[in-house]
Amino acid sequence: MSETAKLLQQLIRLDTTNPPGKETAAAELLRDYLEAAGVECALYARVPERANLVARLRGRGDGPSLALLSHTDVVLADPAEWERDPFGGELVDGEIWGRGALDMKGEVAASAVALASLAREGWRGSGDVIFVAAADEEVGAGYGLQWLVEEHPDAVRADFSVNEGSGERVVLGGRAFYLCSTAEKMSSPFVLRVRGRSGHASMPGIGDNALVKAAPLLARLGQFGVEPQLIPEVAGFLDAVLGSAPPATEALDAARAVSPLAAELIEPLLGMTVCPTMAQASDKRNVIPASCEITVDVRILPGQTPEQAEAALRAWLGDGDYELENVERQGGTRSPIGGPLWDAVASFVEQEEPGAAAAPMCVAGFTDSHWLREAFGTVAYGFFPSRALDSEVAARLIHSANERVPVDDLEFGLRFLRHAAKTVCA
Ligand SMILES: [Zn+2]
């Protein structure tokens, strides 16, 4: 069996469900594996049971550094929903089953094998190739990359980085594209608060019902729309798929003409999105609510600010008796499309599948990449290519039951990571 598949099986069998994480076991497994290949390793831990591993293949010191970035924690798995043991790491029909197979112990294993195999071959780059297996990405409570960047910046500083986030193969208009995430939207949720006056619900007229007052605002939020705009990632995507980027107002129709999937991919990227998801009013059935809070999931484009989002929301809702509060800002960073890492992605795709092309993408969620972009200006992409597993099937398995990865995709990803190291740090 392939070295990557074997290492993945071992990683899956270590339960690193976060919370509580307990990633140290995974960090130690990877350290032992890498040290056996002669790779320099160090564990960094804010608390003993939540270690991060940083391994380094030293370069000659006259070129850029590349970080292979990953996380070792996983989300909860309920064995009752699974057809196989989520922590069994079984190989079934060419696929390794288990929590983390896709998100993202598969890439962890491939990154470790990329470093170990390069070290065994005696390969040496111009700059360092660094492997970061961070704890605590899924919860982000301050034990993982954020903490490393703040407390041990020299250990994780890099010019370029490859992380999770994309790499899926999609067929659009008869041609295959591999998506490479070069940017991430910002999560910028708001709370809409409406105030009224409580009273006994048996006499509706004596109070001022905040829930009822919130209803028209909620309905209005459900209709939210903005003038479309073309961010560089969507322009680059359309350029790859259509040969040129149409004006923003025609982008959606032009994408749909090629394929419904192309339209689906760019639709949430043409502007900020707004989706009310939670509501809270009275705690008691017989008490008229004096306040009502609607939580609104808002995703804004990289480059936009929560302040701009608030202005857009207020303009959409109009004047009224409500409060609007931004409660979080996460992600929303981008790296330029182009340069040595982009060239490595593009040349790998052309080599592996003649006729196919790489296409940039901005993803709706965010990954640990933003810590590196913000701290060091790292050019960070989400790219772990896959083609054996259908991208729509993969999307349904991540954070869900029966997560599994084809061994062929692990090997495919491994080839890319080795190619990236050899070209970026040539
Ligand atoms: Zn992940």
Determine the distance separating the centroid of ligand 1 and the alpha carbon of 215, expressed in angstroms: 36
d(CA 164, ligand 1 centre) in Å: 6
Indicate if the pLDDT at residue 1 is higher than 90.
Answer: no
* Distance from residue 404's CA to the centre of ligand 1 (Å): 14
pLDDT digits (tens, 9 = 90+) for 276-319: 999 999 999 999 999 999 999 999 999 999 999 999 999 999 99
Q: Cα 123–127–128 angle (5° rounding)? A: 75
Which pTM does this prediction carry? 0.93
Helix, strand, coil in percent for the chain, rounding step 5: 40, 25, 40
* d(C-alpha 276, C-alpha 22), whole Å: 34
Banded model confidence at residue 350, pLDDT cuts 50, 70, 90? very high
Centre of ligand 1 to C-alpha 168, Å, is 15
CA 398 to ligand 1 centroid distance, Å: 9
- Could you tell me the distance, in angstroms and rounded to a whole number, from the CA of residue 74 to the centre of ligand 1? 8
How far apart are the CA of 177 and the centre of ligand 1, in A? 22
Dist CA 229 CA 207 (whole Å) = 44
351: CA distance to ligand 1 center in Å? 27
pLDDT score for 211: 98
H helical segments located in 297-401? 306-317, 340-352, 369-376, 391-397
Q: State the pLDDT confidence band at 46, using cuts at 50, 70 and 90.
A: very high
Cα(419) to centroid(ligand 1), Å: 22
| pLDDT tens sequence across 202-223 | 999 999 999 999 999 999 999 9
Is it the case that residue 365 has pLDDT exceeding 90? Answer: no
Cα of 309 to ligand 1 centre, how many Å?
27
Specify the residue for token string 């961070």.
134
Ligand 1 centre to CA of 222 (Å) is 30
